[in-house]
Amino acid sequence: MTEINSEQAKYQCDAPENAGDSQPVVDVQAVTKRFRNTLALDQIDMSVPRGKVFALLGENGAGKTTLLRILTGYLRPDRGSAKVLNHDCASQSEEIRRQIGYVSDSPAMYEWMSASEIGWFASAFYDGAFPRRYEELIAEFQIPIGTKLSALSKGQRAKVALALAVAHDPELLILDEPTSGLDPIVRRQFLESMVDRAAAGRTVLLSSHQINEVERVADVVAILHAGKLRLVQPLEVLKHQTRIVTATMDDAEVYCEPPGGQVLSEEINGRQRRWVVSRLSDDWRSKFGSEGGVRTVDEVMPTLEEIFVAVCANTPSETAPHGAFQPELSRGVLR
Ligand SMILES: Nc1ncnc2c1ncn2[C@@H]1O[C@H](COP(=O)(O)OP(=O)(O)OP(=O)(O)O)[C@@H](O)[C@H]1O
């Protein structure tokens, strides 16, 4: 069985020299990027704290890859600025790429090389420990070392790309859809190894559609929607402060104000009203439905997927007139 074991996680995570540094590892300010008629990123402000697993969620076309490509210097923003490890992404991209590990959504590798040869080739760019770490990862992943990359399966190639990105033990790992192509066992072990990295002070910034997986490993969640950053919050805070409130009215015609807080979404179905609400106060029940007409009221904790759907379904133009949803962020800094 392919396994990223605890031993491996240990060597990946020797304590970084400046682990105590409180400066964000990624600092994005007012970044805007347009492709012809598509506004891919619209005034993005975001900071990624050190030593966390930071998950960037968004629907297809939300702008995740565009943002990650700006951070790694493969794209330039039209406006705004971005820094990674205190280096400017537009002018110091080589330095950034040397210091980080990056796996793009479609890694380009020299197809005519074997896993062994590409490791040897990449080791020229990194410190002396790279070859040993790389070989151990390749062995853990059970990659046939002599086979040309062009002859490997999609999942095996994804593993080679990951091994290349991780083997120099980077302070920041940027992963665009890291688990696509991996089988469920490797996905799980890989994500757990990301948690171990964060615990040792390394930072992992990953984009994903796999919300259930993200829910298991992320410290911080950001949601991009149509090029706008709609939410950035520690996952624990997000889950603690967000509720699905369902009220059943005496009559479908009875109007009912939402239960306070920030309304992420509202659904009306006959006599039933359903809100996904963040920042609900502890005493919301005492104030709710004071005008009468509310027969029963229930409150449950939403899954991250339910929060994601609520945030993405509620674009500003659709925002309910009452309790309007405002992105849960201020300059993308966690509150
Ligand atoms: N090189 C490009 N030329 C033109 N449009 C582009 C280009 N790259 C991205 N876009 C557009 O920018 C928007 C954001 O794309 P992006 O790839 O960043 O989304 P994403 O969130 O990574 O999506 P997915 O989850 O499907 O990979 C999309 O509308 C896409 O069509």
Closest by CA to 228, choosing from 92, 8, 45, 15, is: 45
pLDDT above 70 covers a percentage of the chain that reads 86
Smallest CA separation from ligand 1 atom 3, residue: 35
For ligand 1, say whether the CB of 55 is within 6 Å of any of its atoms.
no
Higher pLDDT, 2 or 182: 182
pLDDT digits (tens, 9 = 90+) for 33-87: 999 999 999 999 999 999 999 999 999 999 999 999 999 999 999 999 999 999 9
Q: Which CATH architecture has domain 237-318?
A: 2-Layer Sandwich (3.30)
Task: State yes or no: pLDDT of 131 exceeds 60.
Answer: yes
> Is the pLDDT confidence value at 198 over 80?
yes
* Atom number in ligand 1 closest to CA 41: 14
What is the mean pLDDT of the segment spanning 194-213?
89
Query: Which residue's CA lies nearest to atom 8 of ligand 1?
Result: 66
Q: ipTM of this complex > 0.95?
A: yes
Between 229 and 125, residue with greater pLDDT = 229
pLDDT at position 81 is: 95
58 lines ligand 1 (CB under 6 A): yes
Mutate to test the pocket of ligand 1, among 32, 41, 42, 64 (most ligand atoms within 8 A of CB): 64
pLDDT digits (tens, 9 = 90+) for 214-265: 898 999 999 999 999 998 999 998 888 899 999 998 888 877 888 888 888 8
49 CA → ligand 1 middle, Å? 25
In this structure, the residue with its CA closest to atom 1 of ligand 1 is 35
Residue 56 region by backbone torsions, left for phi larger than 0, else alpha for psi between -120 and 50, else beta: beta
Q: Is 312 in the pocket of ligand 1 (CB under 6 A)?
A: no
Q: Rounded to two decimals, what is the model's pTM?
A: 0.83
Mean pLDDT value across residues 26-37: 96
pLDDT in tens, 261-318: 888 888 888 889 999 998 887 788 887 776 678 888 899 999 999 999 988 886 543 3
Structure tokens at 329: 């962020």
Which stretch of 13-27, 103-117, 213-227, 273-287 has the lowest confidence by average pLDDT? Answer: 13-27
Evaluate if residue 160 carries a pLDDT over 80: yes
| Choices 3.90.1150.10, 3.40.50.300, 3.90.550.10, 3.80.30.20: CATH for 6-226 | 3.40.50.300
Ligand 1, atom 12, residue with closest C-alpha = 40
Question: Is 228 touching ligand 1 by the criterion CB < 6 Å?
Answer: no
Domain ranges for the chain, please list them: 6-226, 237-318
Residues in a beta bridge with 26: 48, 84
pLDDT at 9 over 70: no
* Residue owning the nearest CA to atom 4 of ligand 1: 35
Instruction: Tell whether the model's pLDDT for residue 323 goes beyond 50.
Output: no
> Is the model's pLDDT at 19 over the cut of 90?
no
**Predicted local confidence at residue 261, as pLDDT:** 85
Tell the residue nearest (CA) to atom 28 of ligand 1: 61
What's the CA gap between 163 and 142, in Å, rounded? 12
pLDDT at 21: 58
Percent of the chain exceeding pLDDT 90 equals 37
Higher pLDDT, 179 or 278: 278
Helices 184-199 and 154-166, interaxial angle, to 10°?
10
110 pLDDT above the threshold of 80:
no
* Predicted pLDDT of residue 315: 53
Residue 66 CA: nearest ligand 1 atom is 18
Ligand 1 atom closest to Cα of 67? 18
- Average pLDDT over the chain, rounded to an integer: 82
57 lines ligand 1 (CB under 6 A): no
